Structure 1
Amino acid sequence: MSPRKSAAEALGTRSAILDRSVAIASLEGLEGLTIGRLAGELGMSKSGVLGHFGSKEALQLAVLDRAADIFLAEVWVPARPAAPGLHRLRELCEAWISYLDRGVFPGGCFFVAAAHEFDGREGPVRDAIEARFDGWRGRLRKEARRAAEAGDLPVGTDAEQLAFELLGLIMALNHSIQLHRDPEAAGRARRAVHARLSG
């Protein structure tokens, strides 16, 4: 076996472990990931699974990275071509609502669930979750500020406040879909976004 093929196979195995881990963690939380369970489901040895990450914490951090890649592909990439400011902010919100409405992750928004699981803890996993939220809130704040500066939002619009409200709205949508199975939730969220972002 050539070194190149061996490295490619290792990457493929690592990717398969992460894909399964994201699916499990979406429904059962990051603490629901166990090396033994993953080994059994993937037909691997425990040492084979652990060898790709080194520790459960490293696995959890890698799962967060994979989930973030999926989120960005679903929400940021579709909105990125839009003109900066209000138009992009609206596109971001629409892609964000669609991501939840389509059930990209079986357990709803991966990061909302992870935040509830780790927000009262300390350590690298909690810090990584917080950093993801901070980055996303910063993106919303940046687009809100651009929209306000362009005159597309009312004079005096507080970009930080608007980002806070949009985050809260999407968390409420996630809750309505996951807990209440409300078929009208996405429509309600779209109406709320439209009302909040009307110039």
Structure 2
Amino acid sequence: MTGPRVDKRVERGQHSRRAILDRAMDIASVEGLESLSVRRLAAELELSKSGVFAQFGSKEELQLATVRAAVEVYVDKVVRPARRAPAGIRRVRALCESWLAYAREPVFPGGCFFLSVAAEFDARPGRVRDAVAAARRDWQRLYERTIDEARELGEITPETDAAQLAFELDALARGGGQDALLHDDPQLYDRVRTALLVRLRSVATDSALLD
């Protein structure tokens, strides 16, 4: 007995959609979401314009799908690896390290996808801005929850403001990552790592956990 047959048209459609979104994320990380167009993606991927349009229906929907795809990549490259670390301050540090690895590799040619597109849409109300902002809020809240967990485990000092520390760690990483990309200087990621570790040591109840 064989399993259910996969409709070849559906399979081809899924493959095409993945290829379109992969290319769209790369383009947007360098040139912004506004640079995306059905015509361009169809030409670069040697697909029909009607086929690309049928996948999304409008430029805005293409932009939104690209943001959602970038969230999936972020979860896969940053969040899941960090969750393998033990709960507590080591997991907080793992979030820092995982983000640095994602930016330094880089996963996208323009560095962190969300740093690139946030600057493009931060003052432009609309669904795309809302989607980018939601992704950023989810990341910051994950940082905050992970810090709260470490504090409850007694590995971060009880007086630590989790929201403030999450903001500082995120801001240090973002600022350093942007400078590293702008100056094409990977050594700046090492400076960011040092700054993050210093800040974590300042709130750790046992700094040996960070060795």
Alignment TM-score, normalising by the size of structure 1: 0.95
Give the Cα separation in 2 of the matches to 1:78 and 1:117: 28
Structure 1, unmatched stretches of 5+, are none
Task: Identify the range of structure 1 (9-18 vs 180-189) with the bigger mean alpha-carbon deviation.
Answer: 180-189
C-alpha distance in structure 2 between counterparts of 1:18 and 1:98, whole Å: 22
SS of the equivalent of 2:16 reads helix
Q: Paired residue for 2:50? A: 47
TM-score scaled by structure 2? 0.90
Letter in 1 for 2:59: K
**Alignment partner, residue 209 of structure 2:** none
Aligned to 1:92, which of 81, 85, 95? 95
Which amino acid in structure 2 is aligned with residue 73 of structure 1?
D
SS in 1 for 2:55: coil
Would the alpha carbon gap of residues 41 and 191 (structure 1) be closer, same or farther in structure 2, given more than 3 Å must change?
A: same
The range that moved more, 179-188 or 162-171, is: 179-188
Count of residues in Structure 1 that have an aligned counterpart in Structure 2: 198
Aligned to 1:11: 14
1:82-121 → structure 2 map (5 Å cutoff): 82-121=85-124
| C-alpha separation in 1, matches of 2:176 and 2:36 | 26
Aligned to 2:66: 63
Post-superposition CA distance 1:60-114 (Å, at most 9, x none): 1111111111111111111112222211111111111111111111101100111
Match of 1:141 in 2: 144
CA distance, structure 2, for counterparts of residue 3 and residue 139 of structure 1:
37
Does the aligned pair in 1 maintain the 2:42–2:52 contact within 8 Å?
Answer: yes
How far apart are residue 45 of structure 1 and its match? 2.4
One-letter amino acid matched to 2:137: D
Q: Give identity over the alignment, percent.
A: 45
Q: CA RMSD in A?
A: 1.3
| Structure 1 residue 182, shift from structure 2 partner | 2.0
What secondary structure, in the 3-state scheme, does the structure 1 residue paired with 2:56 have?
Answer: coil
Aligned to 1:76: 79
- SS state of the match for residue 64, structure 1? helix
**Hey, what's the Cα distance between the residues in 2 that align with 1:81 and 1:43?**
40
Q: Which residue of 1 aligns with 2:207?
A: none
